[in-house]
Copies of this chain bind each other. A is one copy, B any other.
Amino acid sequence: MKIYVIGIGLIGGSMGLDLKKTLNDIEIIGIDTNKIHLDDALSLGIIDRIGSLESITEADRVILSIPVKESMHLLPELLDKIHADALIWDVGSTKEQLCKLISSHPKRDQFLAAHPIAGTEFSGPQAAHKGLFQSKPQILCECNKTRPDLLLWAKQTFRQMGMYLRFMEAEEHDKHMAYVSHLSHISSFMLGKTVLEKEENENNIFDLAGSGFESTVRLAKSSPAMWTPIFEQNKENVIETLEAYIKNLENFKSLLANDDYEALFQEMKNTNQLTSILNGISKK
């Protein structure tokens, strides 16, 4: 089985490594616009050889792990080219627009919209590693539009990689992701910016920041090239979450300005319930 990985980064690279461990007699072929990433992926043993879009006709499986905006350009062309029993899945953080785009493509049923929740703030093939997907959720969208035999293969394979599967509509996926992922990234980037603006001439002050600050701005290390198109694709939902977030911050500020410390206390107390929810996640 020939598996093409288009975009050999953290997700594509790690998926290649896990597939090698999971499946027999497969060949991983890498495509990337970044020549250094391709060479790294070869020397790290993530891919067996370098391929090209021209030879995609030979692919049995295609993993599309490039920024979501580029997937919008490439996916219809890939579907056109692949053979009748090939399956393409993407790993992007937004789903609605991509699914809409190909909804009436004659080979729609050879595509599966997937989103493994396994990113970190690191990127590139150097960041790829075996077991990244162990005990992580894989969200599959619009499964009823994928050909049953191909879907079955994908579900089995993802489960063999240690993932647990969740199913939802593309629109629903994007709404939830705006809250539980995209907003976190903006919050973190803007927190980092705010502190940098204030402290830029006093970098030494950062050693006073403690691990609290470090954890809160961890996501501000994320790749702008990856995140800009995610925010673009999910613009409406992200703006909605930002408005809700800003409203809550404004409210917190008013309570503080009005010395309403009882209400401030309650705001924080109510949010503490996240502890048990998040502990529930960690136990998974």
Please list the residues of chain A having a beta carbon within 8 angstroms of any beta carbon in chain B. 117-121, 136-137, 139, 166, 176-177, 179-181, 183-199, 202-203, 205-222, 224-225, 227-229, 231-232, 235, 238-239, 241-246, 248-250, 252-253, 256-257, 259, 261, 264-275, 277-278, 280-282, 284
Nearest opposing residue in chain B for A253, CB measure = B242
Q: Are B210 and A271 in contact (CB under 8 A)?
A: no
Known: A180-B205, A216-B218, A281-B214. A224 touches B268 (CB 8 A): yes
* Closest beta carbon of chain B to A119's beta carbon, Å: 7
Chain B residues near A284: list those with CB within 8 A.
207
Complex Cα distance, B192 from A248, in Å, reads 10
Nearest opposing residue in chain B for A136, CB measure = B210
Nearest opposing residue in chain B for A268, CB measure = B224
Nearest opposing residue in chain B for A195, CB measure = B179
Nearest opposing residue in chain B for A175, CB measure = B198
Chain B residues near A117: list those with CB within 8 A.
208-210
Complex Cα distance, B215 from A246, in Å, reads 20
- Is chain A's interface secondary structure helix, strand, loop, or mixed overall? helix
Known: A206-B278, A248-B193, A274-B220. A231 touches B213 (CB 8 A): no
Chain B residues near A212: list those with CB within 8 A.
119, 121, 181, 184-185, 218-219
Q: Are B281 and A206 in contact (CB under 8 A)?
A: yes
Chain B residues near A242: list those with CB within 8 A.
249, 252-253, 256
Known: A261-B228, A271-B196. A183 touches B179 (CB 8 A): no
Q: Are B219 and A270 in contact (CB under 8 A)?
A: no
* Closest beta carbon of chain B to A117's beta carbon, Å: 4
Known: A183-B195, A212-B119, A239-B257. A205 touches B218 (CB 8 A): no
**Besides the known contacts A176-B208, A189-B267, A224-B272, 10 further A-B residue pairs in the complex with CB atoms under 8 A apart:** A137-B208, A181-B212, A183-B191, A206-B278, A215-B218, A217-B274, A220-B268, A228-B261, A238-B256, A239-B253
